[in-house]
Structure 1
Amino acid sequence: MVTVVTWNCSQAFRRKKDHVLQAYNPDILVIQECENPAVYGDWGEFSDWVWDGNDDTRGIGIFARNGIELTEEHGNNRASIAAETSSPVDVIGVWTKNDATNPANRYISQAYTALKKYDDWLDEDTLVVGDFNWNATFPQSPHLEPLQHDFTETIQLLQAHNLTSAYHATTGCGFGEEHDPTYYARNRSWNGRNEETGALYHTDYVFLNTDLVPAITDVQLGTKQDWVYNWDGCSDHVPVRVTLECHDSQ
């Protein structure tokens, strides 16, 4: 049994980690916008971790518990980080961002570029996990350069490696048809906004090999009540948890 959680924590993970550990009891966490554990915080709850980022206060980390060990493999950009693990699954963590200097490489285009770099990793044991900051409904901005690579291309790349989204596989919905948001864009005026939540979209994903779909025992998304509004460590994203009943084949 392996439980994986992805969460954009909106910084200061050291002050919020107890909340996600108590709520989900994960074995592996992929955390976006977290601080560098080598510089800040006490991380005794974890057996291992790897981290990368341009700023020690805000990067992407993979954290392991319950004796799981990680072997680090960095990408050549800050949109991804990958780790072989001593558990039955390996992990590619994703966190895409805007790119003011090269707008064509913003957000989902970064995911595509990172996944191409990790082409050899995309096998039956690898999960692609994280905050893609994009949904199938997001339009190309008429005010910016066209994306180098869009959402459709990224999904096609994953599908070519037999990877599918755990949420979509278990709910049967298509991309862009999600009923459960993972991102609450507070104080934004995007399409879909309402007064209570702001704009809300499904932008956080756990992709896994289709052969692992029967091993899924649980897919759970956090709620806005528990993660966005009602506690001091809130974020604008909710966690996504996937639990697999799988055995080590490595």
Structure 2
Amino acid sequence: MTQPLAYIHPEAKLAQNVVVEPFTVIHQNVEIGEGSWIGSNVTIFPGARIGKNCRIFPGAVISAIPQDLKFGGEETLAIIGDNTTVRECATINRGTSDKHKTQIGKNCLIMAYVHVAHDCVIGDSCILANSVQMAGHVEVGDWSIIGGSSAVHQFVKIGRHAMISGGSLIRKDVPPFTKSGREPLSYAGINSIGLRRRGFSDKQIAQIQDTYRYVYLKNLNNNDALSEIEINLPASAERDEIVNFIRTSERGIMKGLS
């Protein structure tokens, strides 16, 4: 259902049961899936790919060109997965020639005034709380939560199931399954409550805790900590995920509590 005061470019592709409220503008080269609702005063620029059953609240701007002086007008995308909600005045820019897309996964909640810059990749079931500001090329793993008014430096990687305190300045990579806060951003334990809610067993959680003891509590440098982990702890999906994340980190990981 499209209100008469909305503008939809004739080349935009909307499923039949998409609702578009008044004063919204949808440009060409846009695709919106079944059951999605687009509120009033939303602007959706070329390159947007919005999935099924999404909700885009008033004032949001989707797929505007990147705020990047190197952008040369190349054709890129901004992809939003099924069942994702984008709240008021959030801005999601499309990609550049780096990844050719900015991507937000399924079942995410992008709260009001969030900015997701070019070439970011956000996994499924993530929450970005109010006014999170995300620079370009950031990667966020599934089920991560970033607290309100946090700022994420470009090229930072945040692992799965991480929980980051509101107001954080995120300059370094944040390993999976962790909680973090303070300034500078520091390890504050593992996200045990979130992991239990998502079906992790006590044994899995205990091994994650054991793994991070080597990283953050034994006064070892990262290389030595990883070696000790591989020698002393049995292999598991979670252990290996942590080891691989730290080993491949290009920016370095957040510090431990001092």
Which has the larger share of helix? Answer: 1
When normalised by structure 2's length, the TM-score is 0.24
Larger Rg: 2
Structure with larger RCO (C-alpha < 8 A, sep 6+): 1
TM-score (norm 1): 0.25
